[in-house]
Amino acid sequence: MRTHRALAAVLLAATLTAPTTAQPAHAAQTIGYPTFSGPPIPAPPVGYHTGSTMRAIYDAESSGTDFWLDRLLARPGNDPAGTLLMTRGRGLFMYTHDPAVIGFGGKAAYWDDLSGQHAYSIAVSPGAFTEQVGSRLQKPSHYKAVFTSGAIRLELTKFITHNNVAVTNLAIVNTSGAPATLRLNATSPYATTVAGDELTGSRAVKNNLTTIQPRLSGDGFAAGTGGLSRSMTVGAGQTVTTKVVMGFPTTEIPESRTEYQAYRGHSPATAFATHVRAYNRWWADNIPYIDVPDAAIKKSVYYRWWLMRFNHLDVDIPGQDYQFPVSIEGVTGYNNAIALTQPMHIDDLKYLRDPVYSYGPWLSAGQTSRGGRFMDNPGDPENWSNSYTQYISEAAWRSYQLHGGQPAIAGLLARYAEGDAKGQLSFYDTNNNGVIEYDWGALTGNDADAVSFDWRPGRLDRAETAYVWSGAVAAQRAYALIGNTAKAAEMQALADRIRTGVLNTLWNPDRQLLEHKHVPTNTHVPWKEINNYYPFSVGMMPGTEQYKQALRLFASPAEYPVFPFYTANQKDKAEAAAAGHPGSNNFSTINSTVQFRLYASVLRHYPNQWMTAEDYKKLLHWNAWAQYVGGNTQWPDANEFWANWNAGAQRIDYRSWIHHNILGSSNWTVVEEVAGLRPRTDAKVELWPIGIGWSHFAVNNLRYRNMDLSIVWDDPADGITRYPGVPQGYSVYLNGTRAFTVDRLTRAVYDPATGAVTLPAGGNLTHSTAITGLQAAQEVVQNSARMVDVFAKAGVDLTSARPNLAQGATASASHTAADTSVGGAVDGFPINAPIWGSSGSPNGTDWYQLDFGRSQTVQEARLYFRDDRAGNRYRAPAAYTVQYWTGQAWADVSGQTRTPETPRANYNQVRFTPVSTDRLRVRLTHAAGFHTGLTELKVYGLSTLPTTGR
């Protein structure tokens, strides 16, 4: 959590306790289960479908404008979680929302708060219009409100489209017996220039990452220096409708301009229907249907799906900031792609059917971390800076196992993961023992909740090293998959070194615990957190009885309660408080995510007498309960953190100020742990469920590489058939066809090619059949337009297996900045550093040259220009041209076709008439006031056809 930005520097020693021997099992985690309250939870309009249930739900309502997920997550009246507006676009949203304003009042944001002002407001006169708070109805796709003044009633409906168009529909109702003439005036601080019947403007967003060109218009409104205005006469007892539309276009999202024009031309009713249907169709296209026995938990699952969408940024800003779709930690709070929580988000995002949602965050981290340890996105350096408590590579590898793709994708992931693992050790492991050290709790994501930092001043060898190990393992597996045996062996050796370092340094045989170690005195730290158990969470600990003894503390809720899911061991926290270091003792979905990971790993790989599946079930229920204000299912609100747990009243007395914050994750727990799906790389399906006693559940229409996969459980013991058309038992469906059924929840490995099912833990197979077509991860071809575009911007061509002729070429340049190198642009890796740069050059034009050493036929170049907005030295050039050596002189290649036509930060493609030459160069005309930098130059010969596939 982030309640404290600094920790006290004064720490003191604590008395070591006597060695602890193994304790017998006893009544663990006595808290029981929570009670939910609230109105009835809306049920889907159709029953379970063995194909896509989400599609069936959408199709049942697609001709109207009232959809199940909108009803499920609707928030009527005065919302106790605040006035936040749920509807948003890919970049545009309301950082704060003022419902008293007709229009979009509050603080308008494009990736972050623009300037603390309204997007636009609409004044209606004469009269003083007052909002009727009880008439508010907010749904994920739109917001409705009523304003009244005398006999005039304004019925407002507003929404933000995917491509950043803010629309306000107004129905003006005259309830009197006489006609009324009203004047409407719409104004925006972002659009003040008259352009025909529109108002326009230009505004740089925070940190000058991009520029928006706002446009404001309205049905029948005239544009003037005082805003948009329109007079309307509404007859007695009549209703007149109109709308105001504001687009926030950017050059990099051309759809934002066309979508604005489209909505401008729609009638209010058509605009609303078009948006609401498109918004809800996204659910059908992207999320799996999940059904569980408890309606409150089921609703929390769909609320978490919405959180992923609400806290997602997809603005394609050219450069190495926010060019990749990425998950944002709290768009109404810190609002940055913070490394700490990216892997937690990836774990849930990978179950969206389009892989771009889970691949985007790890691509972004890899592109912006200079080939080393993963750091927070540089687009918002004001909020945090880095974190070693992240497992991005581990989560990214699971996303790849699930979705797959060309070997080049796995190779890119391997290189990012290698850079992170080595970079973490290089930066933090100053005593070279394979264990990271740190002396300040803020970077753990736990702040003053992390009790160990208060024990003594000085650096600590930390158990969070486990995540460096899991990153090295991810790199090893990815390298092995693509056949790079040398790199795989290197990364395995690194992982082994880290594991040895953790066991030798952090295992305390006297107390039989993993403990951080105080480096100055070489003393184990007796004060602990859940962080001490990360080595168990990632599976790096040996599964011997000796090491499993460390898990005994989870038998006591006085030390590690299932709920509240605190960071610190509560016994140690009390000792620290008694010693004058109370710190904070908050809890959040970050902590439950960590607990879920630990329990899931332990129950499978470290079975013991202290931690049970019943504990896991309690964690699942309490995690859902904490999302709801007061346990009332009407009001889900995932705050950044919670505090002041009132055990007697079973109430959270403090919910922090950041609302609807994605932070941690939990939907993966239902898919992977309860339903049991285990992502793997071969062409098999593995289930390994944690049995928590649920009578039924369904996870429907996951995208599992190149097929659709569903998992259904209907307990045969109770004789009740809950899913029509689905037999009782534990079943898997591929592309809507039943693959196999087992009579109980049990571990199962299914080979679709043969229909064979192995049951390592027993069970009776009641049905199985072969279903051909499931591909291994590396056999999948990702060829959607979006995936091709995103990976091209990361330096990977998904459309061709052509070699990059620039690698191996000898590079030179007319000028090279001292802190760059010509080799930085031909390492095959277009990241934000290392680069070639021309900073300091006296020339208005410079060149960068490749000598192939022999004649090559070339027809395409891909140039990746650096835009260092913070350093303010490099921008994309004003112009560039590709030249070749004729044998006697340099000449421009013919037929140059550039995409985009105007040079842009990061990815630029130029195709030209094939030419044979031994040398190629690019002449670069610098942008005024800047120089040009290349993060990479790739050169290709004749095209080859890609392999077929997805």
Task: Collapse the DSSP code of 427 into the 3-class scheme (helix H, G, I; strand E, B; otherwise coil) and give the result.
Answer: helix
> What ranges in 633-746 are assigned the alpha helix state H?
667-668
| Cβ proximity of 434 and 457 under 8 Å | no
Q: Where are the alpha helices (DSSP H) in 335-464?
A: 342-349, 356-367, 392-403, 407-428
Residue 549 has pLDDT above 90, yes or no: yes
Indicate the pLDDT class of residue 384, thresholds 50, 70 and 90.
low
On the question of pLDDT at 15 being above 50, the answer is no
Return d(Cα 689, Cα 673) in angstroms, integer: 5
CA angle 118, 120, 124 (to 5 degrees): 120
CA 542 distance to own-chain centroid: 32
Cα–Cα distances (Å) from 886 to 636, 809, 855, 883, 893, in that order, read: 68, 18, 11, 9, 10
pLDDT digits (tens, 9 = 90+) for 664-682: 999 999 999 999 999 999 9
The structure tokens listed for 491 are: 């990364």
Q: What is the DSSP letter of 771?
A: -
**In whole angstroms, what separates CA 230 from the centre of its chain?**
43
**233-242, 298-307, 334-343: least confidently modelled range:** 334-343
Compute the distance between CA of residue 847 and CA of residue 865 in angstroms, rounded to an integer. Answer: 13
pLDDT in tens, 617-671: 999 999 999 999 999 999 999 999 999 999 999 999 999 999 999 989 999 999 9
pLDDT of residue 335: 86
CB 77 within 8 Å of CB 136: yes
Average predicted confidence (pLDDT) for the chain: 94
Task: Look at residue 440 in the predicted model and tell me its pLDDT.
Answer: 84
Q: β-pairing, 103-104 with 106-110?
A: unpaired
Q: What percent of the chain has pLDDT over 70?
A: 96
pLDDT greater than 50 at residue 26? no
Give yes or no for a cis peptide into 564 (omega within 30° of 0).
yes
Please name which of 910, 809, 801 lies closest in space to residue 860, comparing C-alpha atoms.
910
Segment 274-293 shows an average pLDDT of 98
CB neighbours (10 Å) of residue 741?
22
- The pLDDT assigned to 442 comes to 75
21, pLDDT greater than 70: no
Distances (CA, A) of 200 to 42, 197, 863: 43, 10, 33
Rounded CA gap, 238 and 172, in Å? 8
What pLDDT, on the 0 to 100 scale, is given for residue 944? 52
Whether the predicted pLDDT of 17 surpasses 90: no
Beta bridge partners of 677: 687
